[in-house]
Chains A and B, each alone.
Chain A
Amino acid sequence: MNLFLAALGFCAVGAVCAATLTRRVRVPVSASLATIGCLLAVGVALQVLITGDSSTFHTAQLLPMTGLSLTLDPLGALFILASSFVGAAACVYCVGYARGAMASRTAMTMLMIFVLTLLAVPAASSVMSFMFCWELMALSSLLLILTDQSHSREARGAALWYGVLTQLGAASILIGLLLMTSTSSGQTFADLSAHSLSLSPSTRSFAFVLVLLGFASKAGAVPFHVWLPKAHPEAPSPASALMSSSMVAMGVYGIIRVGADLLHGGTVWWWVAVALLGVVSALYGALHATTSTDLKRLLAYSTIDILGLVLIGVGAAGALNDSGLPSVAHLAMMAALLLVVAHAAFKGALFLAAGAVERATGTRNLDELGGLIHTMPSTALVVAISAGSIMAVPTLSGFSSEWLLLQGLLHGFTDASTPALIVMLLGVIALALTGGLTAVAFVKLFGIGFLGQPRSVDAANAVEVPLSMRIAMAWLVIPSLVIGVVPGLFISLLNRAASTGMGATVVSPIDHGTGLVVSQLRGAIQPAALLVGLVGVLALVWLVNQRLAQRHARRVDAWGCGRDLQTPRMQYTATSFAEPLQRVFADVLRPQSDVEVTHVTESRYYEQSIMYENRVGDVLEARGYRPIITAAFRVGVFARRLQNGSIHRYLAFGFVALLVILVVVA
């Protein structure tokens, strides 16, 4: 615990340094302090996961409901691990990245506080500490979105959406938690957990629904996701990496902590609801990721997709536990947690790489990129591995976690109750469909962004980013490889975290070893052996290829259909690459396309210019949120009439209100 407090201390000192030091030393000093803090936290989290020891820390309570209480337990430690690992990378990245607005006092201070709160939220163990850290996390990230004023209009819009939805979510969580405190003797999580069974079932369900709304919004679950694809791209890259990999995971943490731990599982429909949110999010996110042309927006939608899969795992675990299958439930929960950790690393790496691309070319529009593999080979390699991981290429981390998730779902088929069965079935369908769609999105990202010819001057003039940024990206590739190749070594760490709220200690259904073996299911993967096979065949083919034919290739022009001219403008763009799929799913995506043809004045048979515009907006935003906003606005305009500035009227309002209260009380 002391080491963890030291880690928090390093981050706090980093924040103070960022706020006080001069511009030149601000970034390196605060970033290195926070990096040390994060690395310490990684160590502490690993230690808790290995030993399973929980420890607690309380500050003195000067007033009731004040004071901070922190607890380190395996579930929290897992989420601390995910955020501190990405946090360290984001801080190192900052050294090379922070220029202009990002190096400003506010931005750096907020980044440090953001990192600090990401470590503190999973450790907070009382309602007030939790809400304090939660709100600080929301506020610091909100200010980070506003850092970059070059896209100020979008950034302000994004911040507004984020601010409103996150505050609504926080209010919902607070009410839910306060409902739970009504019968308990104190406000610490231990008290809540001990007394939650004495609540009436309907109160517990109501509290869970309220809490779920708030946490699902943070996890980007559709239909509460609207802020996410706006806010994540607008933040500076280290912040968006943290938001998209660690902050969204806090939503999942909250659902598990409150639903499984504090409320002890509840009834099956809670988890069916969680899983249904997951199914919708996974499909919606994956579909939008395939059509996005903004690099970071694509990544943000893919976050919604992966978090959807995580929610399917969590929901399936709850439903299976309710069906009396604790060991399968354990498997599904392990899969969800493994996916959280794997996602944190590869999505962090991808967001940092997106920042590197933006830094090198000045744009994140895929339609203006291309050919970066020649100028930015290290970044390209990071993107290739991380994209491979997210596409679930075997022997990378995404594959191990999705395989485990499928095992949990498939095993539930054998003897789960009907509600659980429906969850499993929908989960399997979502997993299959998102697999194909994710492949399209990330082949597009890598193929259009990094291969081919540069589609703009800026892309052609790109240069590789500084060493510190490359180190940070490489750091986040490590988990993709480790969890991918030897998942068995990592999975044992998740054992205790996944047992949270599962009642008695569950024996892990996964055998020991480097691979993943679930003997009761006759299911197994040995990624290390697969990797040896793949690399072996690859090397063999390469050798044979070198021997059989001449060694060096002659460079020639690509085939130009009989013409000499091949301009970069002739290539497919991200928009055109996704066009067939956009057409297939036009009913869901509702794309808006305009073609504007200008003719030359002499003849209508010759075109002077053709303008094509294609927009894919968020249907749920347009159809779901806009009407509510418009209605709220109307109510606001109407309510304005009540306030005409006359003091007499206000006094009358006060008098009437008092009367009403007296009548009601009487």
Chain B
Amino acid sequence: MSATTTTLYGVAATLVQVVLLGLGGPLLVGVMAKVKARAEGRVGAPVVQPLRDLRKLLTKERLHARHASVVLPLAPMVILASTVVAGAISPLVSTHPLLGSSADILVIVYLLLTGSAAAALAGLDAGTAFGGMGSSRAMTIGALAEPALLVAVIALSIQSGTSNLPSIMSSTLTHPDWVFGPSRLLALGALLIVVIAETGRIPVDNPATHLELTMVHEAMILEYAGPELALFSLGEAMRLGLLFSLVANLFLPWGIMTDHTLLSLLLGTVALVAKTLLVALGVALIEVRSAKLRLFRLPELLAGGFVLSVLAVVTGLVTR
């Protein structure tokens, strides 16, 4: 296999990943809404509704709040850019995407953190009460969730001896028995809590609510309208897609493209979609089954996630 072919397939895999996230992220939001609606006995909006919303928003007038600064238009772009780069280099479809050697745990976690920080700054930019409230709450949740995310992924890295995500996945493929080890299961529990918190789903935040006193994410984007809101929503949807597919791949890496053929690219894509849908289904069912927690009960849940992840690391170290 020549170096050019490897690069070409890397570029192809990266392109597929970005397109999948861009289209699939909003669709995933639609799918979850549909699953929830059906589980609650409603018909629900069509799955493509989030994409239609984006198209509608893009044609609307561009409105900026009076006291807002350059941060207001910049923040959604930063969220998009950090998510796209994180999605492009992460091993989603292939274990050899473009720049896959830089797809380190810390790179992905801190790219996501950059996005969260940009969103929180966006909430503070217009100088309103609700924006600040949303930012403060989102950062509080983030401050407790991000460490759990980092430590949980580190737990996975112990057996592989590297913090490089593609290497973690390839070594998991060669050691399938690792997947059901106690360390992995603990880490899975932690990651599920983190992913629910980071994507603002029930029981942490309710994406469907505009009830003022409970909202977190919706409060932060209250001043957004038109094209900027479209970019913001797209960025958030892509983040959701990225987190779900990463969790799916970290625990069920099978199907991911490891060699360089067109068939495996296709297989990798299909496998990724299937695995991600599985995670989305699970999260949607959790959402249906649970009620939103009070804001000040959240730290208990998130601290639980953090403790699980630390236990996962300790278990990993003991059983290595």
Contacts and interface: CB of A to CB of B under 8 A. Distances in A.
Interface of A: 290, 370-371, 373-374, 388, 391-394, 399, 402-403, 406-407, 410-411, 413-414, 421, 425, 428-429, 431-433, 435-437, 439-440, 442-444, 446-448, 451-453, 515, 517, 521-526, 529-530, 533-535, 537-538, 541-542, 545, 548-561, 566, 568, 570-572, 576-581, 583-584
A568 B131 CA distance: 13
A525 B120 contact: no
The 8 nearest A-B residue pairs measured at CB: A572-B132, A452-B127, A447-B124, A453-B127, A436-B143, A549-B227, A432-B147, A553-B64
Contacts of A558: 65-68, 126-128, 223
A445 B8 CA distance: 44
Contacts of A442: 117
Contacts of B151: 428-429, 432
A444 B61 CA distance: 31
A538 B136 contact: no
B124 A452 contact: yes
B140 A559 contact: no
B139 A553 contact: no
B111 A571 contact: no
B124 A432 contact: no
A428 B314 CA distance: 12
A103 to B, nearest CB: 34
B209 interface: no
B25 to A, nearest CB: 15
B258 interface: no
Contacts of B140: 440, 580-581, 584
B65 A443 contact: no
Given A553-B63, A556-B65, A526 B99 contact: yes
Interface stretch (B74-82, B248-256, B283-291): B74-82
B106 A406 contact: yes
Nearest to A546: B227
B116 interface: yes
A530 B100 CA distance: 11
A195 B155 CA distance: 44
A504 to B, nearest CB: 25
A451 B69 contact: yes
B281 interface: no
Give the residue among B106, B109, B116 with the most A Cβ atoms within 10 A: B106
Given A529-B99, A553-B62, 10 more contacts: A393-B114, A436-B144, A439-B116, A534-B82, A534-B85, A538-B80, A545-B231, A554-B64, A576-B136, A584-B299
Contacts, number: 252
Give the residue among B62, B131, B140, B227 with the most A Cβ atoms within 10 A: B140
Nearest to B295: A580
Contacts of B172: none
Give the residue among B66, B111, B132 with the most A Cβ atoms within 10 A: B132
Give the residue among A515, A537, A558 with the most B Cβ atoms within 10 A: A558
A577 B310 contact: no
Given A436-B142, A522-B162, A534-B85, A555 B66 contact: yes
Interface in B47-77: 58-71, 73, 77
B12 interface: no
Contacts of A406: 105-106, 163
B107 interface: yes
B146 A439 contact: yes
Contact of A572 (B107, B124, B222, B314): B124
B136 A579 contact: yes
B23 interface: no
Given A410-B157, A584-B299, A541 B67 contact: no
A425 B128 contact: no
